[in-house]
Amino acid sequence: MISSKTAAPKTDAPERIAKVIARAGLCSRREAERWIAAGRVSIDGVRLDSPATTVPPGAAVTVDGAPLPALEPARLWRYHKPKGVITTARDPQGRPTVFDKLPDSLPRVLTIGRLDFNSEGLLLLTNDGAVKRRLELPATGWTRRYRVRVHGRPEADQLRALARGVRIDGINYGPMEATLERQSGANAWLDVALKEGKNREVRRVLEHIGVTVNRLIRVAYGPFQLGHLAPGEVREVTGKVLREQLGGGKPNTGTARRSTPKKSSPPKRSPGPPSRPGPPSRRGPKKKSHAHRRRPA
């Protein structure tokens, strides 16, 4: 049974029940749909059987008879994903996941985008589904940057051509900026940037021009940088920075926050009647006194 001491947060507009549960941090939307099908979810005491149900404002949602926890403020973390872990909650092949490697001190988090099993570098984590969707949308226009080591000798004209996009096996891949950083023997290091990443896009596009990726490190996601994070290290982005980068608005738009009582401020004094100016002084400007100035010997 899921326990909680707080009531379900109120919303201003009806929302799908699975979305409400997921944003409360209990599980993913798909998992919430399974809970609904199993009869574990109720609205105002009525057990649900369809995930298409919407939650009206002020309704009480319970899971296993317990109310949903209040939603936390939106938070964001930078995580240096090491090579050899998969970006998923569960893996049928039994491979380790990023969630197996995260510290226990973190709340339930969602990954923003993905890095495949053999890729490493910056992976953003958030506790807020609205932030996740916003940062993943291509409309945000945030650039993902990578340092890529390839086996082969890519030509400059081949790399420039990628800026027009490419079609491979019936799939259109968007514009990609790729520049040669250095050639070292049979390997070369490239700087690669793209706006929207499909599954294994960098690897497939570079293989299309005749080179093979043997290391891929994401170094930036929009304004957020990998920096000096060690593999496996997690560091939280401050709330101030998060608000600034999301345009100054509340990061979790439409997400309830825990209310904190405001400190009462002392009552303001009412201003009295304006004082009348006195008569102008008849004294002239004060002369500077030289009484204490020493004369040179």
DSSP string, 240-280: HHHHHHTTTS-TTTT------PPPPPPPPPPP-PPPPP-PP
Distance CA 190, CA 11 (A): 47
- Phi and psi at 177, nearest 5°, equal -95, 120
Task: Write out the catalytic residue numbers.
Answer: 116
Q: Which two tokens stand for residue 283?
A: 């004294």
Q: For residue 158, what is the DSSP state?
A: H
Distance CA 99, CA 46 (A): 34
Closest to 41 in 3D by CA, of 201, 50, 288: 50
Distance CA 202, CA 218 (A): 11
